[in-house]
Amino acid sequence: MLDRVNKDLLPMKAHYFLFNAGTGPVQPFLSTYARQLGFSATIVGLIYTILPISGMLAKPIVGAIADRFRCQKLMFLAAQLLTAAAFLAINFSPEIPKDQKVHFACDGDAVFDTSPLTKVEIDDCLVDQFQKTPGNVTCRMNCPMEEQFWKVVVQYWNATEYQNYHPDNFEFTAFVIREKTIRINNATYFGFKYVELDSGKTTKALCPCGKECHISTVCDITCDDYTLNSMVTQTAVSDEDVYSKSQFWIFLILMIFGWVGQAVVVSVGDAICFQLLGDKPNRYGYQRLFGALGWGIFSVIAGLMVDSLSEGSSKKNFESAFYLSFAFLLLDFAVSSNLKNAQTKQSTSILKDVGRLLVEFRIVVFLVWCIAVGMCTALMWQFLFFLIEDLAKNQGCDSQEWIKTLEGIVQAIQTLAGEMPFFFWSGKILKRIGHINAMSLVLLVIGIRFILYSVITNPWWFLPIEFLNGLTFGLFYACMTSYASVAAPPGTEATMQGLVGAIFEGVGVSLGSFVGGLIYDAYSGPWTFRLFGIGALITCLLHAGVQFLIKRSDYEARYTSPSEAFSALYDDQQEMTLVE
């Protein structure tokens, strides 16, 4: 059997697997990582608005350079190194200055509360989760003291070492009792009975004489519990001032480098793949399914590694995910260096050839379809987990214990059970129904999928819906890239892939993220998906109607349509691949 394997395509299969195994451990967690660095949701949203635009600009520019100077492989390998270096550097991004402050009050019992954190919204379920977790929490506190406070510490806390020495600040360790945590109005109160002084002495924290001997001060605090730290942390820099901080620009530039690197690898890599496939572009899905396999496996593994290595820590430790990503991307570079890519075709005027193609009505309709699907894809990428978590809260606070597990299962089903089979069968599906019908089918299924999201109240019932990701992304992506490849004039393949990718991501995904965010904030998650679902169904009808009119008027395209090309080029002998 091995003698029938197309060995020239093995490096391409390995690239898709290794590249997605390298980006999968990092890409899903970058927004969470940004929040941990201290960036607010507003700033994270701004960053994710800029990133698709940077990809939109990079894809066609680099694609045109690769076609003009016949250096596709060089640009492809350079982009892989750029992605690997950027992801590794993001791991060392400096944090925005953050405050962990609480109001410490000792008036009978000793407590501290979150009243100084006026900008922090603490979820009731987070408090409930903290209360139910077994064991006490150790918190290191540093409190500015007034002279009268020392009387309490010396007399009632038995801190005799401070009898004749009253520093400006009092540092001690508090042993927080989870069960004594209560929520009143907008503040959360944490109680403790014992403290450990710097001398090593453990004593009761009591203030038994009422207002005559009480302590009330705002303290810096650091605890050994991730949940408690998250409840008492806020960024010390406002959103208006964050743009003047080097931490913001370092993180944004590294994110842009990583995003541009990925964008170029994807667009130029697809162009190389179609060139290697030659007159069998229907085999593209057989190559691309390895990417879904790599992403599905290692994004889940990375999540488990992060959770495991962060156990008992005050914050999530993402180092393992970044190093795992770097290792796979370097391995991808080494494997991709063996690609046998020869650009045999060259366009004498790339811009002219592509420009002439873009005025064709059939291609314009195709690009509008890319934008429509891009908008819907943005909703799935950016807001599906928001919807899952919002619905999970309605199931009770216990849902927080399984919500990340559910999200991991969702991602696994999307890639392994959804995308992989449809990437594998995409060539046969496209040959049987044609690209035009496949485009309408994708919009139809997206509409159905979104409307189902909008009416289901238990997020566990989302799992059967995730199998549709094979149609809404697996078949869609194969359809988009293969249509662009066959429609591209000779010598403009990388340019065309970059342009289509830029339209999908830079226009469609960016617009969908912006509009989806506005609707989500104004009307809630279910209504957002319902409106987008209705929009997808209307677009499906419009697309089918326009294509019917084009066919009826016997519209003549300059180039052979992809569906016709597939019919002419397809042979019945199936390629032997590793998956077979």
pLDDT at 563 over 50: no
SS3 string, 74-96, reads HHHHHHHHHHHHHHHHHCCCCCC
Query: 444: domain CATH number?
Result: 1.20.1250.20
Domain contains 403: yes
pLDDT reported for residue 198: 87
DSSP code string of 279-307: T-GGGHHHHHHHHHHHHHHHHHHHHHHHH
Are 102 and 89 members of one domain? Answer: no
Look at residue 71 and tell me if it is in a domain: no
Structural domain total, the chain: 3
**Range from 132-136, 406-410, 495-499 carrying the lowest mean pLDDT:** 495-499
Residue 251 near residue 34 (C-beta atoms within 8 A): yes
19, part of any domain: yes
The pLDDT assigned to 499 comes to 78
Residue 134 lies in a domain: yes
Last residue of a domain, one of 306, 340, 374: 340
pLDDT tops 50 at residue 261: yes
Range of the domain at 331: 1-38+85-97+244-340
Query: What is the pLDDT, as a whole number, of residue 569?
Result: 39
Instruction: Encode burial over 473-503: b for 16+ CB neighbours within 10 A, e otherwise.
Output: bbbbbbbbbbbbbbbbbebbbbbbbbbbbbb
pLDDT per position as a tens digit, 461-488: 999 999 999 999 999 988 988 888 777 6
Q: Is residue 346 part of a domain?
A: no
Tell whether 267 and 409 lie within a shared domain.
Answer: no
Q: Does a structural domain hold residue 197?
A: yes
**Residue 188 confidence class, pLDDT cut points 50, 70, 90:** confident
Please provide the size of the chain in residues: 580
Q: Do the domain assignments include residue 227?
A: yes
Q: Give the number of other CB atoms < 10 A from CB of residue 72.
A: 24
Residues 506-528 have pLDDT tens digits of 788 888 887 887 788 778 889 99
52 domain-assigned: no
Task: Provide the token pair at 372.
Answer: 């429509």
318 and 361 together in one domain: no
The CA-CA-CA angle for residues 281, 283, 286, to 5°, reads 145
pLDDT grade, residue 257 (50/70/90)? very high
Are 203 and 251 found together in one domain?
no
Cβ atoms 196, 173 nearer than 8 A: yes
Distance CA 241, CA 462 (A): 40
422 in the same domain as 450: yes
Residue carrying structure tokens 């050839």: 353
**Of the residues 340, 361, 377, the one at which a domain ends:** 340
pLDDT of residue 441 exceeding 80, the answer is yes
Say if residue 320 is in the same domain as residue 367. Answer: no
Residues 93 and 103 in one domain: no
Q: Are residues 23 and 141 both part of a single domain?
A: no
Mean pLDDT over the full length of the chain: 81
Pair 335, 381 in one domain: no
Same-domain pairing of 265 and 197 = no
Cβ atoms of residues 478 and 284 within 8 Å: yes
C-alpha 228: how far from chain center:
25
The reply to whether 116 and 17 lie within a common domain is no
Question: Is 233's pLDDT higher than 50?
Answer: yes
Quote the pLDDT of residue 211: 67
Per-residue pLDDT, 79: 93
Average of per-residue pLDDT across 53-64: 81
Domain boundary among 318, 340, 362: 340
Q: Are residues 207 and 266 in the same domain?
A: no
pLDDT at 251 over 80: yes
Helix axis angle for 350-358 and 493-502, nearest 10°, is 50
